[in-house]
Structure 1
Amino acid sequence: MAIVVLDIPKFRAMFPEFSNVTDAQLSLLFDFATDYLSNTEYSLITDVNKRERLLYLLMAHLSYMRYGDAKANGGSGLVGRLSSASEGSVSVSSELGAMSGSSAWYTQSAYGFDFWQATKVYRMVAYYPGSPYG
């Protein structure tokens, strides 16, 4: 089985909003993404093209969270969704709301949420009727 090799021009074509992130940073984010999703012959995602898309979604999520995009969205350091904002004396607060601890980190960006939704089939319990294990 093949592994995904980072293709920076392809990532940039898929996510042009991260033009502010350097190639060196993208390379590091790819390494981080493989900490969340195995990029080995033992990966649950056996389709290499699908694994590449998922790894790039993780890279986009990490880019958004750490550096923000070229329009200064993201990268705020806030954890969770913006729940209130003020203007006089500037006040901002965020909250995670009612969600499982596992999904909370992923739902802080559209990219992470896309990844979370695309991988939910891999987080489901398999039931085999008539199996001595079910």
Structure 2
Amino acid sequence: MYVFVYGTLTDPDRVQTVLEGHPTAEYALEETATLEGVHRVDGRYPTLAPGGSVDGRVLAVDEVGLERLDRYEGVEDGLYVRVTVPYSGRDDEAFVYVGDPARLGVDDRIDWPGDGPLLERVRRVVREDEIVLSSRE
């Protein structure tokens, strides 16, 4: 499975800290990539907002690695949501984490349009605005 990262997890040492320590967690910090259709907004932690583009890296992880990333990103607590985006050139998808603007102190700078939970609003934008991940290597 692929995961696009654009914040603290672009640091190889941080990735190693988060993903290692479990005997079955396998991962690889792969290529650099660009996620088109969203841009980075810095707050308490980095997050994404509609429009623009953001550069980052791609991690290849197994199920255990994905579970560890979910814990690190606070998915269960609602700090971040995890969505899939098309991964151009791979005929595949990649996961990406999007932080809750209100919890990260940037809600005055981010508008995920529509009503309902953040996850559904982000999924709608990904689908309707054709957000796509492309390799830069």
TM-score, with structure 2 as normaliser: 0.28
Larger helix percent: 1
Structure with the greater alpha carbon radius of gyration = 1
Structure possessing the higher relative contact order (Cα contacts under 8 Å, 6 or more residues apart): 2
Larger strand percent: 2
